[in-house]
Structure 1
Amino acid sequence: MTALDATAARKEWMSLLAKAPPARLDALFSDLGEAPEFSWLRPPECGGVMVRGRMGGTGAPFNLGEMTVTRCAVQLASGEVGHGYVQGRDKRHARQAALVDALMQTARAGALRAAVLAPLQAEREAARRDRAAKAAATRVEFFTMVRGED
């Protein structure tokens, strides 16, 4: 795996952890057993970030508003560093995301992927399909019938 592939994979799992429902992440994480020994590099802290938008995705950027974010950083006893950034004020969610990020850099990555990331990914895809099906059910197709007037 190249460094570029490793970076892309890490972005994917960090995105998945940040968007995961906190209760579901907590349940999957607690199924792994006791949390590993770690130290705080940055304890969980809440703050705000400016969200920017673009009209049509290509227009000039503008400030949309602020969003609350919680972040933290941990270091495992074995030296791996993990970061957690989540929307909102849930410090436990940020801690668990950071711990999973750090553990994904160890030999336990395969087991962790199967126990935590794969179920979260499957649930996210199922929710996406349900949302798409609901939107498709409201789709209206317009067509013109031939009126018979020449």
Structure 2
Amino acid sequence: MEITQEQRRGWLAVLARAPREALARVAGPVLADYAFEWLRRPETGLTMVRARIANGGDRFNLGEATVTRCALRHAGAGGATVGVGYVLGRDAERAEWVAGLDALLQQPALHAPLMAAVIAPLAQAGEARAKERHERAARSRVHFYTLQRGDAQ
């Protein structure tokens, strides 16, 4: 089975956005059964966050954000795979979990079981958090109406 770059981008986004507690709950038991070789130990740095004016205009530098990254290799039955982990903040252990799961998800024999056991629940929880955030924002929305006066000419 060929894993596309788009699929990998999708699961990396789910893993990077998952809260620490949820990621620890699913990653800890899975990663304990496998051996990894460090390619790049966790390191923390800054990245520039860019934004757009009015969500569609010119880009500008909004500010800097702290990011932790790492890379590791897993030599499995499906060949060696390299996992990368990038997370906002300074949580090195979280970056390790993301990298380890990324490497395992690229193994053909482990892909489907891990997608069902790890990625699907984390994605559903992320969608529920986004929906709750959206509903909370919608409750506070203010609608302004303009009334046309009959005497204004």
* TM-score (ref. length: structure 2): 0.85
Number of the residue aligned with 1:32: 30
1:85 matched to 2:86 = yes
State the AA in 2 paired with 1:65: G
Check 1:80–1:97 CA distance in 2 against 1; reply closer, same or farther (3 A cut): same
Conservation of the 8 A alpha-carbon contact between 2:16 and 2:85: yes
2:123 to 117, 121, 124: 121
1:135 matched to 2:137 = yes
Any residues of structure 2 matched to 1:1-150 within 5 Å, and which?
6-32=4-30, 34-78=32-76, 79-106=80-107, 107-142=109-144
The CA distance in 1 between the partners of 2:5 and 2:13, in whole Å, is: 12
State the AA in 2 paired with 1:69: V
The CA distance in 2 between the partners of 1:61 and 1:144, in whole Å, is: 33
| Further displaced range: 84-93 or 110-119 | 110-119
- Identity between Structure 1 and Structure 2 (%): 44
* TM-score (ref. length: structure 1): 0.87
Check 1:88–1:35 CA distance in 2 against 1; reply closer, same or farther (3 A cut): farther
The CA distance in 1 between the partners of 2:57 and 2:85, in whole Å, is: 31
The CA distance in 1 between the partners of 2:62 and 2:135, in whole Å, is: 29
Structure 2 residue runs of 5 or longer lacking an equivalent are none
Deviation, 1:146, is 9.5
Check 1:140–1:100 CA distance in 2 against 1; reply closer, same or farther (3 A cut): same
Q: Secondary structure at the match of 1:32?
A: helix
